[in-house]
């Protein structure tokens, strides 16, 4: 059974204070690892898909990286508007259904 664990559950940063969110996973044959951003009361917004260890993707202040056991979402010089819950999910084998983690709630203080 696929498992996804996100840490920390909550993270408070000062504006400009860079940090990383972790997504540890256990799957049998990774087909894809996904990062989403979710604002309160809204649906998850797609950020990145990573397919193989060593892959990296960037978007503005966000950079996602992938190893064989975990993924990191690095946030460089965050701003208050980066405050949200960040969800990680994995898709494995021949499944059509991703497994989601419980998310990391990020608050960036001005």
Partner 1 sequence: DGGITQSPKYLFRKEGQNVTLSCEQNLNHDAMYWYRQDPGQGLRLIYYSQIVNDFQKGDIAEGYSVSREKKESFPLTVTSAQKNPTAFYLCASRRTEQETQYFGPGTRLLVL
Positions in the binding site for partner 1 (CB under 8 A): 4, 31-32, 34, 36, 41-46, 49, 87, 89, 91, 96-98, 100-103
The least CB distance from residue 38 to partner 1, in Å, is: 9
Beta-carbon neighbour count of residue 48 at 10 Å? Answer: 22
- Quote helix, strand, coil % in the chain, to nearest 5: 5, 60, 40
Nearer to partner 1, 69 or 102 (CB): 102
Nearer to partner 1, 4 or 108 (CB): 4
Nearer to partner 1, 36 or 108 (CB): 36
The least CB distance from residue 49 to partner 1, in Å, is: 5
C-alpha 34/C-alpha 88 separation (Å) is: 6
The least CB distance from residue 18 to partner 1, in Å, is: 26
Nearest to 98 by CA among 22, 33, 5: 33
Nearest to 12 by CA among 63, 82, 60: 82
């Amino acid at each position: 059974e696929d498992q996804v664990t996100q840490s920390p559950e909550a993270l408070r940063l000062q504006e400009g204070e860079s940090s990383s969110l972790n997504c540890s996973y256990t799957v049998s044959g990774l087909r894809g690892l996904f990062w989403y951003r979710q604002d309160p009361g809204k649906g998850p917004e797609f950020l990145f898909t990573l397919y193989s260890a060593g892959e990296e993707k960037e978007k503005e202040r966000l950079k996602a990286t992938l190893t064989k056991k975990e993924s990191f979402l690095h946030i460089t010089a965050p701003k208050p508007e980066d405050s949200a819950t960040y969800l990680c999910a994995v898709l494995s084998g021949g499944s059509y259904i991703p497994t989601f983690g419980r998310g990391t709630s990020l608050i960036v203080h001005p």
